[in-house]
Structure 1
Amino acid sequence: MDLLNLQNPVFLVYTVAASLMVLKIMGQGWMTVYRMLKVNGGWASPEDLRPGMINKAPDVSQLESNDYVERSRRMHRNDLENIPAFWISGLLFVFAEPSLILAQILLYGFVVARLLHSIAYATQRSHEVRATFYTLGSVIVVLMALYTLNVVLN
Protein backbone atom coordinates (compact mmCIF):
# COMPACT_ATOMS: atom_id res chain seq x y z
CA MET A 1 0.00 0.00 0.00
CA ASP A 2 1.16 3.51 -0.75
CA LEU A 3 1.69 4.89 2.76
CA LEU A 4 1.28 8.58 1.85
CA ASN A 5 -2.25 8.19 0.57
CA LEU A 6 -5.51 9.16 2.23
CA GLN A 7 -6.63 5.56 1.73
CA ASN A 8 -4.06 4.66 4.42
CA PRO A 9 -5.96 5.20 7.70
CA VAL A 10 -2.74 5.95 9.62
CA PHE A 11 -1.77 8.66 7.14
CA LEU A 12 -5.32 10.01 7.32
CA VAL A 13 -5.01 10.32 11.12
CA TYR A 14 -1.63 12.03 10.70
CA THR A 15 -3.09 14.40 8.09
CA VAL A 16 -5.93 15.44 10.40
CA ALA A 17 -3.62 15.89 13.41
CA ALA A 18 -0.95 17.76 11.41
CA SER A 19 -3.58 20.03 9.84
CA LEU A 20 -5.03 20.85 13.25
CA MET A 21 -1.56 21.84 14.41
CA VAL A 22 -1.13 24.09 11.35
CA LEU A 23 -4.38 25.81 12.32
CA LYS A 24 -3.16 26.06 15.93
CA ILE A 25 0.07 27.80 14.96
CA MET A 26 -1.57 30.16 12.48
CA GLY A 27 -4.47 30.85 14.83
CA GLN A 28 -2.11 31.78 17.64
CA GLY A 29 -0.44 34.35 15.39
CA TRP A 30 -3.83 35.88 14.64
CA MET A 31 -4.67 35.80 18.35
CA THR A 32 -1.56 37.89 19.01
CA VAL A 33 -2.65 40.42 16.39
CA TYR A 34 -6.15 40.51 17.90
CA ARG A 35 -4.70 41.17 21.34
CA MET A 36 -2.43 43.94 20.02
CA LEU A 37 -5.39 45.64 18.39
CA LYS A 38 -7.60 45.17 21.45
CA VAL A 39 -5.15 46.95 23.77
CA ASN A 40 -3.70 49.22 21.05
CA GLY A 41 -0.23 48.26 22.21
CA GLY A 42 2.37 45.59 22.57
CA TRP A 43 3.74 46.40 19.12
CA ALA A 44 6.96 44.56 18.37
CA SER A 45 9.03 46.95 16.25
CA PRO A 46 9.72 50.70 16.04
CA GLU A 47 8.39 50.83 12.47
CA ASP A 48 5.00 49.79 13.87
CA LEU A 49 4.69 53.40 15.05
CA ARG A 50 4.33 54.70 11.51
CA PRO A 51 0.81 56.06 10.98
CA GLY A 52 -1.47 53.84 8.93
CA MET A 53 -5.04 52.63 8.56
CA ILE A 54 -4.82 50.52 11.72
CA ASN A 55 -2.58 52.74 13.83
CA LYS A 56 -3.84 56.22 13.07
CA ALA A 57 -2.37 57.85 16.18
CA PRO A 58 0.93 56.11 16.97
CA ASP A 59 2.44 56.64 20.39
CA VAL A 60 5.79 55.46 21.71
CA SER A 61 3.97 53.77 24.62
CA GLN A 62 2.61 51.23 22.11
CA LEU A 63 6.09 49.68 22.04
CA GLU A 64 6.01 48.97 25.78
CA SER A 65 5.66 45.36 26.80
CA ASN A 66 2.06 44.33 27.43
CA ASP A 67 1.56 41.04 29.28
CA TYR A 68 -1.74 40.34 27.53
CA VAL A 69 0.03 40.49 24.14
CA GLU A 70 3.28 38.94 25.35
CA ARG A 71 1.43 35.92 26.76
CA SER A 72 0.06 35.23 23.29
CA ARG A 73 3.53 35.71 21.78
CA ARG A 74 4.99 33.23 24.28
CA MET A 75 2.26 30.73 23.42
CA HIS A 76 3.03 31.18 19.72
CA ARG A 77 6.75 30.74 20.29
CA ASN A 78 6.10 27.62 22.35
CA ASP A 79 4.03 26.17 19.50
CA LEU A 80 6.81 26.98 17.03
CA GLU A 81 9.31 25.21 19.29
CA ASN A 82 7.25 22.04 19.69
CA ILE A 83 4.87 21.41 16.79
CA PRO A 84 7.49 21.08 14.00
CA ALA A 85 9.06 18.12 15.82
CA PHE A 86 5.60 16.55 15.92
CA TRP A 87 5.15 17.03 12.16
CA ILE A 88 8.49 15.35 11.40
CA SER A 89 8.23 12.58 13.97
CA GLY A 90 4.61 11.92 13.04
CA LEU A 91 5.35 11.62 9.33
CA LEU A 92 8.25 9.25 9.96
CA PHE A 93 5.95 7.32 12.30
CA VAL A 94 3.51 6.82 9.38
CA PHE A 95 6.35 5.16 7.41
CA ALA A 96 6.88 2.75 10.32
CA GLU A 97 3.32 1.46 9.75
CA PRO A 98 2.01 1.43 13.33
CA SER A 99 -1.40 0.01 14.12
CA LEU A 100 -4.29 2.41 13.58
CA ILE A 101 -5.18 2.49 17.28
CA LEU A 102 -1.61 3.32 18.30
CA ALA A 103 -1.48 6.07 15.66
CA GLN A 104 -4.78 7.51 16.85
CA ILE A 105 -3.70 7.48 20.50
CA LEU A 106 -0.34 9.12 19.84
CA LEU A 107 -1.21 11.56 17.05
CA TYR A 108 -4.51 12.73 18.49
CA GLY A 109 -3.01 12.57 21.97
CA PHE A 110 -0.43 15.15 20.91
CA VAL A 111 -3.15 17.43 19.53
CA VAL A 112 -5.11 17.21 22.78
CA ALA A 113 -1.98 17.80 24.87
CA ARG A 114 -1.09 20.93 22.86
CA LEU A 115 -4.62 22.29 23.09
CA LEU A 116 -4.73 21.69 26.84
CA HIS A 117 -1.29 23.31 27.18
CA SER A 118 -2.60 26.37 25.34
CA ILE A 119 -5.71 26.58 27.50
CA ALA A 120 -3.58 26.30 30.62
CA TYR A 121 -1.25 29.03 29.33
CA ALA A 122 -4.07 31.35 28.24
CA THR A 123 -5.87 30.99 31.57
CA GLN A 124 -2.66 31.51 33.57
CA ARG A 125 -2.61 28.12 35.26
CA SER A 126 0.45 27.16 37.24
CA HIS A 127 3.68 26.09 35.62
CA GLU A 128 3.04 22.56 36.89
CA VAL A 129 -0.22 22.34 34.93
CA ARG A 130 1.39 23.65 31.74
CA ALA A 131 4.41 21.40 32.26
CA THR A 132 2.15 18.36 32.59
CA PHE A 133 0.61 18.96 29.17
CA TYR A 134 3.97 19.88 27.63
CA THR A 135 5.48 16.68 29.02
CA LEU A 136 2.64 14.56 27.66
CA GLY A 137 3.11 16.04 24.17
CA SER A 138 6.89 15.75 24.35
CA VAL A 139 6.73 12.11 25.48
CA ILE A 140 4.38 11.33 22.58
CA VAL A 141 6.83 12.81 20.05
CA VAL A 142 9.70 10.87 21.61
CA LEU A 143 7.68 7.63 21.62
CA MET A 144 6.88 8.04 17.92
CA ALA A 145 10.56 8.63 17.15
CA LEU A 146 11.62 5.61 19.21
CA TYR A 147 8.96 3.43 17.60
CA THR A 148 10.17 4.50 14.16
CA LEU A 149 13.81 3.87 15.06
CA ASN A 150 12.92 0.44 16.39
CA VAL A 151 11.19 -0.48 13.12
CA VAL A 152 14.02 0.90 11.00
CA LEU A 153 16.85 -0.66 12.98
CA ASN A 154 15.29 -4.11 13.47
Structure 2
Amino acid sequence: MEHAQYWYAVATVLLFFKMFAISAYQGFHRITKLTFKTPEDAALVGRKPAEDELPQVQRAAKAWMNDLENIPVFLALGVAYVWVDASPELAVWLFMVFIGARYLHTVCYLSGLQPWRTLTYTVGLLCMFVMSIQILVALL
Protein backbone atom coordinates (compact mmCIF):
# COMPACT_ATOMS: atom_id res chain seq x y z
CA MET A 1 0.00 0.00 0.00
CA GLU A 2 1.46 3.30 -1.09
CA HIS A 3 -1.44 5.52 -0.17
CA ALA A 4 -0.79 8.00 2.62
CA GLN A 5 -4.41 7.64 3.72
CA TYR A 6 -3.88 3.94 4.40
CA TRP A 7 -0.80 4.55 6.55
CA TYR A 8 -2.48 7.44 8.34
CA ALA A 9 -5.39 5.16 9.27
CA VAL A 10 -2.99 2.46 10.49
CA ALA A 11 -1.05 5.04 12.52
CA THR A 12 -4.23 6.40 14.11
CA VAL A 13 -5.35 2.95 15.23
CA LEU A 14 -1.91 2.04 16.58
CA LEU A 15 -1.77 5.29 18.55
CA PHE A 16 -5.19 4.54 20.03
CA PHE A 17 -3.96 1.08 21.12
CA LYS A 18 -0.83 2.62 22.66
CA MET A 19 -2.78 5.18 24.66
CA PHE A 20 -5.31 2.54 25.74
CA ALA A 21 -2.39 0.40 26.94
CA ILE A 22 -1.18 3.23 29.19
CA SER A 23 -4.65 3.47 30.73
CA ALA A 24 -4.77 -0.30 31.21
CA TYR A 25 -1.30 -0.18 32.80
CA GLN A 26 -2.50 2.41 35.32
CA GLY A 27 -5.67 0.44 36.05
CA PHE A 28 -3.71 -2.78 36.46
CA HIS A 29 -1.47 -1.24 39.12
CA ARG A 30 -4.33 0.42 40.95
CA ILE A 31 -6.46 -2.73 40.98
CA THR A 32 -3.73 -5.24 41.85
CA LYS A 33 -2.55 -3.06 44.74
CA LEU A 34 -6.07 -1.88 45.67
CA THR A 35 -4.69 1.66 45.89
CA PHE A 36 -6.90 4.50 44.71
CA LYS A 37 -6.52 8.20 45.29
CA THR A 38 -10.07 9.06 44.22
CA PRO A 39 -12.40 8.62 47.23
CA GLU A 40 -15.25 6.91 45.37
CA ASP A 41 -12.84 4.44 43.73
CA ALA A 42 -11.23 3.60 47.06
CA ALA A 43 -14.67 3.21 48.70
CA LEU A 44 -15.70 0.79 45.95
CA VAL A 45 -13.04 -1.66 47.19
CA GLY A 46 -13.54 -0.83 50.87
CA ARG A 47 -10.38 1.23 51.25
CA LYS A 48 -9.49 4.73 52.29
CA PRO A 49 -8.20 7.01 49.55
CA ALA A 50 -4.44 6.90 49.13
CA GLU A 51 -2.58 10.14 49.80
CA ASP A 52 -0.48 9.73 46.67
CA GLU A 53 -0.76 7.85 43.42
CA LEU A 54 1.37 4.76 43.03
CA PRO A 55 4.78 5.48 41.42
CA GLN A 56 3.83 3.35 38.39
CA VAL A 57 0.59 5.32 37.96
CA GLN A 58 2.44 8.64 38.29
CA ARG A 59 4.97 7.62 35.65
CA ALA A 60 2.25 6.39 33.31
CA ALA A 61 0.34 9.66 33.79
CA LYS A 62 3.44 11.59 32.73
CA ALA A 63 3.83 9.40 29.65
CA TRP A 64 0.13 10.00 28.89
CA MET A 65 0.60 13.78 29.21
CA ASN A 66 3.56 13.62 26.85
CA ASP A 67 1.35 11.76 24.36
CA LEU A 68 -1.26 14.50 24.68
CA GLU A 69 1.40 17.05 23.75
CA ASN A 70 2.59 15.14 20.68
CA ILE A 71 -0.02 12.81 19.24
CA PRO A 72 -2.68 15.47 18.43
CA VAL A 73 -0.04 17.48 16.55
CA PHE A 74 0.99 14.35 14.63
CA LEU A 75 -2.65 13.58 13.80
CA ALA A 76 -3.25 17.13 12.57
CA LEU A 77 -0.09 17.07 10.47
CA GLY A 78 -1.13 13.67 9.15
CA VAL A 79 -4.47 15.02 7.96
CA ALA A 80 -2.71 17.93 6.25
CA TYR A 81 -0.17 15.50 4.76
CA VAL A 82 -2.96 13.42 3.24
CA TRP A 83 -5.00 16.46 2.09
CA VAL A 84 -2.13 18.05 0.17
CA ASP A 85 -1.10 14.70 -1.30
CA ALA A 86 2.43 14.86 0.06
CA SER A 87 4.85 12.03 -0.78
CA PRO A 88 2.96 8.73 -0.33
CA GLU A 89 6.23 6.79 -0.45
CA LEU A 90 7.58 8.76 2.48
CA ALA A 91 4.30 8.55 4.42
CA VAL A 92 4.81 4.93 5.47
CA TRP A 93 8.25 5.75 6.86
CA LEU A 94 7.27 8.97 8.61
CA PHE A 95 4.08 7.58 10.09
CA MET A 96 5.46 4.21 11.18
CA VAL A 97 8.73 5.60 12.55
CA PHE A 98 6.70 8.11 14.56
CA ILE A 99 4.55 5.25 15.91
CA GLY A 100 7.61 3.19 16.78
CA ALA A 101 9.20 6.17 18.49
CA ARG A 102 6.07 6.83 20.56
CA TYR A 103 5.79 3.18 21.62
CA LEU A 104 9.46 3.10 22.60
CA HIS A 105 9.15 6.46 24.34
CA THR A 106 6.40 5.03 26.54
CA VAL A 107 8.43 1.92 27.36
CA CYS A 108 11.43 4.09 28.21
CA TYR A 109 9.29 6.43 30.30
CA LEU A 110 7.71 3.59 32.27
CA SER A 111 11.12 1.98 32.77
CA GLY A 112 12.99 5.19 33.61
CA LEU A 113 15.44 4.75 30.74
CA GLN A 114 17.46 7.81 29.88
CA PRO A 115 18.88 8.90 27.47
CA TRP A 116 16.68 6.52 25.45
CA ARG A 117 13.48 8.31 26.40
CA THR A 118 14.84 11.60 25.06
CA LEU A 119 16.21 9.92 21.95
CA THR A 120 12.86 8.31 21.10
CA TYR A 121 11.09 11.62 21.75
CA THR A 122 13.51 13.36 19.37
CA VAL A 123 12.96 10.76 16.64
CA GLY A 124 9.20 11.34 16.81
CA LEU A 125 9.70 15.09 16.74
CA LEU A 126 11.96 14.82 13.69
CA CYS A 127 9.26 12.85 11.90
CA MET A 128 6.82 15.70 12.51
CA PHE A 129 9.31 18.27 11.22
CA VAL A 130 9.86 16.25 8.05
CA MET A 131 6.09 15.91 7.66
CA SER A 132 5.79 19.70 7.98
CA ILE A 133 8.44 20.23 5.31
CA GLN A 134 6.75 17.71 3.00
CA ILE A 135 3.42 19.52 3.46
CA LEU A 136 5.01 22.87 2.58
CA VAL A 137 6.76 21.36 -0.45
CA ALA A 138 3.47 19.88 -1.67
CA LEU A 139 1.81 23.30 -1.29
CA LEU A 140 4.43 25.10 -3.35
Q: Same fold (TM over 0.5)?
A: yes
Query: Are 1:21 and 2:31 counterparts?
Result: no
> Residue 2 of structure 2 contacts residue 89 of structure 2 at CA under 8 Å; is this kept in 1?
no
Query: Are 1:85 and 2:79 counterparts?
Result: no
Of 130, 136, 139, the match for 1:149: 136
Query: Are 1:58 and 2:47 counterparts?
Result: yes
Structure number with larger C-alpha Rg:
1
Cα-to-partner distance string for 1:29-59 (whole Å, 9 max, x where unaligned):
1221111112222x3434433x22xx1x212
* Structure 2: gaps of 5 or more residues: none
Cα-to-partner distance string for 1:119-153 (whole Å, 9 max, x where unaligned):
11122211x2101100110111122122212322x
Query: Are 1:33 and 2:24 counterparts?
Result: no
2:137 partner letter? N
TM-score scaled by length of structure 1: 0.81
Of 52, 72, 88, the match for 1:100: 88
Residue-pair matches, total: 140
TM-score scaled by length of structure 2: 0.89
Cα-to-partner distance string for 1:58-96 (whole Å, 9 max, x where unaligned):
124x23232122111111121122111111111111122
> Residue 25 of structure 1 contacts residue 76 of structure 1 at CA under 8 Å; is this kept in 2?
yes
Query: Once the 2 structures are TM-superposed, how far is the Cα of residue 8 of structure 1 from its aligned partner?
Result: 7.2
> Residue 45 of structure 1 contacts residue 63 of structure 1 at CA under 8 Å; is this kept in 2?
no
Instruction: Please show how residues 122-137 of structure 1 align to structure 2 within 5 Å.
Output: 122-126=110-114, 128-137=115-124
Return the alpha-carbon distance in structure 2 between the equivalents of residues 13 and 65 of structure 1. 37
Return the alpha-carbon distance in structure 2 between the equivalents of residues 44 and 8 of structure 1. 47
> Residue 35 of structure 1 contacts residue 69 of structure 1 at CA under 8 Å; is this kept in 2?
yes
1:125 partner letter? L
Between the aligned residues of both structures, percent identity stands at: 26
* Structure 1: gaps of 5 or more residues: 1-6
Secondary structure at the counterpart of residue 63 of structure 1: coil
1:11 partner letter? Q
Return the alpha-carbon distance in structure 1 between the equivalents of residues 64 and 32 of structure 2. 18
